[in-house]
Amino acid sequence: MIEVSASVLNVDKTNANHMFYNLETAKINYFHIDVMDGKFVERNNVELMKDYALTISHMSNLGLDVHLMVKDVEEFVDEYLMLEPQILTFHVEAIDDEEKIRSLIDRIKRSGSRVGIAISPNTSIETIKKYLNYIHMILVMTVVPGKGGQTLIPETLDKVKNLKQYLEENNIDIDIEVDGGINNETAKLAIDAGANILVAGNYLISSDNKIESVKKLKE
């Protein structure tokens, strides 16, 4: 079943609550919280994303799909676990120590959240194969992490295809989330490649019929 996760990265602070309400009534499945620390990626929106995550957790029953684009993963994992996110995802590129990655996976699972590992466009699926049996989702970045409104990089869909094939060959049943440049056209390509959770930011935020737009993504 295809799920939609609305990225709140580019939601304007002045009408955020109204936008969150419209997204929720458009039948999205999750709110995608894009946390950027100014180190792993250039932009720093730590305060704003915490504010949005707290607001959403008070006003909506929908799950938080938290995407940590941060260098100091442990610090943000502890902070966001307090909000009991549905999914908590960190970038494999941020940690070069396998033991640390394994202990983070355990910490997130013990707290009851689903754990995701994100890979940027230049990162191969080889780097995460050893973790696949221990996590719930792979987030395949279809743009370079750091900002919304970018165009999907087509080669990343080949990565989704290869990953899906590997999962099927090895009987590993976990979610594949695609993130960046997803709209009614690219969503179809991503689903055909094997993705089952679609992150959409600007496509939904700029839509004046969000119910229709979410439906188009899921078709």
**Interface residue with ligand DX5, options 35, 157, 163, 182 (CB under 6 A):** 182
- From 55-63, 82-90, 92-100, 198-206, span contacting ligand DX5 (CB under 6 A): 198-206
Q: What angle do CA 128, 34, 61 make, to 5 degrees?
A: 105
Q: How many angstroms separate the CA atoms of 84 and 29, rounded?
A: 16
Q: Tokens representing 174?
A: 């976990």
Q: Where are the alpha helices (DSSP H) in the chain?
A: 16-25, 46-59, 73-81, 98-110, 155-169, 184-193, 202-205, 210-218
Nearest to 60 by CA among 86, 82, 89: 86
**Exposure string for 119-130, b = 16+ CB within 10 A, e = fewer:** bbeebebeebee
Report, in Å, the least distance between residue 204 CB and ligand DX5: 8
Q: How many angstroms separate the CA atoms of 49 and 18, rounded?
A: 16
Which stretches of the chain bind Zn ion, using CB under 5 A?
Answer: 34, 67, 179
Q: Which does 116 bind (CB under 5 to 8 A by kind): ligand DX5, Zn ion, none?
A: none
Q: How many angstroms separate the CA atoms of 123 and 114, rounded?
A: 22
Q: How many angstroms separate the CA atoms of 65 and 80, rounded?
A: 11
Does residue 181 interact with ligand DX5 by CB under 6 A?
yes
Q: Are β-strands 175-179 and 87-91 bridged in parallel, bridged antiparallel, or unpaired?
A: unpaired
**Interface residue with ligand DX5, options 149, 161, 166, 175 (CB under 6 A):** 149
Q: Tokens representing 93?
A: 């590129």
DSSP 130: G
Task: Please identify every residue annotated as catalytic.
Answer: 34, 179
- From 81-89, 109-117, 148-156, 157-165, span contacting ligand DX5 (CB under 6 A): 148-156
Nearer to ligand DX5, 57 or 186 (CB): 186
Does residue 150 interact with ligand DX5 by CB under 6 A?
yes
Does residue 114 interact with ligand DX5 by CB under 6 A?
no
Nearer to ligand DX5, 69 or 174 (CB): 69
- From 50-58, 168-176, 180-188, 207-215, span contacting ligand DX5 (CB under 6 A): 180-188
Report, in Å, the least distance between residue 201 CB and ligand DX5: 3
Does residue 85 interact with ligand DX5 by CB under 6 A?
no
Q: Which does 121 bind (CB under 5 to 8 A by kind): Zn ion, ligand DX5, none?
A: none
